[in-house]
Every structure is written in C-alpha cells, then in structure tokens.
Amino acid sequence: MKALFYTREFPPYVYGGAGVHVEYLAEELSKLMEVDVRCFGDQDLQTGNLSVKGFPYDNPVFEGSNDKLKAVFKTLSTCIQMNADEIDADVVHCHTWYAQFAGIVAKLCYGVPLVITTHSLEPLRPWKREQLGRGYEASSWVEKTAIEMADAVIAVSEETREDVLKYFDVDPQKVQVIYNGINLKEYVKTDSTGTLEEYGIDKSKPFVLFVGRITRQKGIIHLVNAIKYLHPDTQVVLCAGAPDTPEIAKEMEESVNEATRGRDNVIWIEKMLDKKQVIELYSHASVFCCPSIYEPFGIINIEAMACETAVVASAVGGIKEVVIHGETGILVPLEQQNTAPFEPVDPDKFARDLAEGVNKVIADKDLARSMAVKGRRRVEETFDWSAIAKEVENLYRSLI
C-alpha cells in the first residue's frame, strides 16, 4: 500500500500543529507502507519508504496581486503543480485547506480515494478574514468542497467530529475520530538549560510558558492581559512569533508593552524556536498555559505534558479531551460569544481565571508535581504516534 500526503507544512518549514502532525504521522506510517509527501517548499529527499518533494509557492506572477488575495492565489497554484506528477498511490491524504485543493484535483483527475484530516475548520475561524480578505470565501469553499467529497474524514477530537457534522453535509459513517500523537522518545523532560540562559530566564524563579503563533485562535492576547493578575515573582515566557497580520502583531506589541510596565520579568521570544529549545522550555516551566479560544485538539498541551509540565488551558474544543481537569492540569471555563468572532463574553474575567489557575499551580508544588507525573502517564497511554499510525493504516485499508 502507498499513501500520498498533500500538505503545506513539512520540515524544515513547520510553523503550527498541523505541520507537527504531518511530520510525525508520515514518519510512523512509513514504517508500515510507502509514503509520498508533496508539500510547499524546496524539499527533495528519500529515506526508506518516505519520499518528500517540495513545490514552489512564491510564484512571481502573483506579485502584483491584492496583498490579501495573493496567499490564496499562490496556494491554489501550488496545489495544481502538486498534481503535475503522475499519482500511483492507493490513497490521497490532505492536511489543512492549503493543500485540500490538491486533493480535490487528485480525486477528480486520478480517481484516487481522498482522506481529509480536519486540523481546524474555517467556519470556526472567522478572524481569518483579517488575514485573507475575500480570500476567506475561497478557503471556506475549498474546505467545504474537499470535506464533502472525501471518502473519509479524520476528526482530531470528538468535538471536532461534531463540528464537521454540524457545518458540512457529510455521512456520519465517513467521519472517524483519530487523535493527534507525539513522539514519546523525543519529547522527554531534559535537564539542559542552554535556552533559558540564552534568553535570560532566571532558573531560580518560577515561570509560566506560552508556545504558539500570534493569532486570534491561540488567545495569546488574553494571557498577556492576565499578566497583571499573576504573582509578581512569576516570570512570563512568551515564545510567540509568526503573526497572522500586521494588525495583530501591533496589538500584541502594544499589549506586551502595557503588561510590562513596572514588571521586568516578561520575556518575549519573537520567533518560533526549534524542537530542542522548546523541549527545554517545556521541561523547566512551572506551568504551561494554553489560552486558545478555538482548538480542535491542541498538540502543544501533550508536548508540555510529555515533558512533565502541568497545564492551565481554556476549556474549549479538543483540549477538554486532552487535559484532565484537576489531574493533569486545570481547565479554565470560557464563556464565548455565540456568533463570530467567538471571543470571550467577558475578556477580563477570562484573563483573571487564567491567572488564578497559573497562580494555583505555581503556589502548590505538590499539586504541580502530581499533575506533571499524571500528564506524562496520560500521554504515554493515549497519544503514542505508533498506535495512531496503525489506526490511520486501518482506515486506508477500509477504503481500498
């Protein structure tokens, strides 16, 4: 059996959870079958059963296009190029709307069964309009078309499955829940402290950690607004880069400037660090905070748990299936607006509640240690990539 992956992200160009998912799933599946990855970039490698080929994204023909539509045009162009080479795979598997148009073309032109993994859903990310303008209509159409014509849809959590059935016309029998996973040998607590020293993090004092992109979805502004409610001795480490838009980048900068007035222990690392550095941060953080307002799964939470760090996270989406409240972390209730953009009804209350959870874990070392141990155990029992890859293999076999 041979599987073909279509994805925007693949190493060395990974900036989000979907890219992490594709990297590790491809690696594990290649132990079971041939895996051909076609992605955005200049990659060109062959390792055992795994082959990777990148396709150019920066097409100069679109340089004069509308700034917000440019990304959509480039994406659709790259998806067409991905189909130029003949397909000899038994199944095509797409990840994120950026690659789903390639899957649509592959199914129509080559007649190959199509699998879609729903890492997120456009109807629940209305803030993407800030980034894409009317291109959001295009991304939404691509996603809807791909999901509704797919032979199988993988939802990364039970709640995501419910969302798929709510927003799309799909046979429930075609939608299967398969969780994200983690490489348990790679994500392990480490004593190394080079990254802490590089960025001036005081090893003798506690710190709360955020890792992620600067986007509405990840809720980082709410954590920044919670800083004023944190214990003054608690360091805040924001490993946050890749802003979606210039507007949210400016808002982030202004919010951090406001939060750091009279406080000198907020450290903002304005770029995405490599895995080794992030694992160091996870390992030494007193608590990891995930303030997302929308999160189908939240792979960053299992990364933190694997490194034996307690988690304080918003009780939304798949996070509620990952973090066990009171055992592996604290889930913070989030009352959201019923319509777009789904922001908190009371942002200040949400910020206060995040701070309360962080303060509670840091103040109680026994609780933090218990959550750390139970978090690692939960990851080992539930989110091992090798077991997840076998579930995906079984799904492929059911289609061919």
Q: Supply φ then ψ for residue 145, to 5 degrees.
A: -65, -45
Residues 332 and 391 in one domain: no
| Within-domain flag for 167 | yes
Residues 172 and 217 in one domain: no
Partners of 336 in beta bridges: 344
Residues 352 and 306 in one domain: yes
Which CATH number do you get for residue 167? 3.40.50.2000
Residue 37 is part of which domain span? Answer: 2-181+384-399
Report the alpha-carbon distance of residue 97 to residue 135 in Å, rounded: 12
Domain count for the chain, please give it.
Answer: 2
Task: Tell me the two tokens of residue 380.
Answer: 């080992």
Tell me if the bond preceding 113 is cis, omega within 30° of 0.
Answer: no
Q: Supply φ then ψ for residue 137, to 5 degrees.
A: -65, -40
Q: What is the pLDDT, as a whole number, of residue 141?
A: 97
Global pTM reads 0.91
| Within-domain flag for 189 | no
Residues 233 and 369 in one domain: yes
Partners of 209 in beta bridges: 237, 288
Angle CA(265)–CA(280)–CA(273) in degrees, nearest 5? 80
Chain position carrying tokens 């969780």: 179
Q: What is the pLDDT, as a whole number, of residue 341?
A: 75
Q: What is the pLDDT, as a whole number, of residue 44?
A: 97
Residues 368 and 391 in one domain: no
Residues 213 and 147 in one domain: no
Q: Which residues contact 135 (CB under 8 A, 6 or more apart)?
A: 68, 69, 71, 72
Q: What is the pLDDT, as a whole number, of residue 107?
A: 98
Residues 166 and 312 in one domain: no
Task: Describe the strand order of the beta sheet including 207-213 as a list of residue ranges.
Answer: 266-269, 235-241, 207-213, 287-290, 311-314, 329-332
Residues 288 and 304 in one domain: yes
Query: What confidence tens digit (pLDDT) does each residue in 93-132 have?
Result: 999 999 999 999 999 999 999 999 999 999 999 888 888 9
**Residue 77 near residue 83 (C-beta atoms within 8 A):** no
Q: Supply φ then ψ for residue 243, to 5 degrees.
A: -60, 145
Residues 254 and 298 in one domain: yes
| Within-domain flag for 234 | yes
| Within-domain flag for 186 | no
Task: Tell me the two tokens of residue 112.
Answer: 């190959």
Residues 320 and 255 in one domain: yes
* Low-confidence spans in the chain with pLDDT less than 70: none
Residues 211 and 325 in one domain: yes
Q: What is the pLDDT, as a whole number, of residue 128?
A: 87
| Within-domain flag for 188 | no
Residues 296 and 376 in one domain: yes
Partners of 262 in beta bridges: none
| Within-domain flag for 187 | no
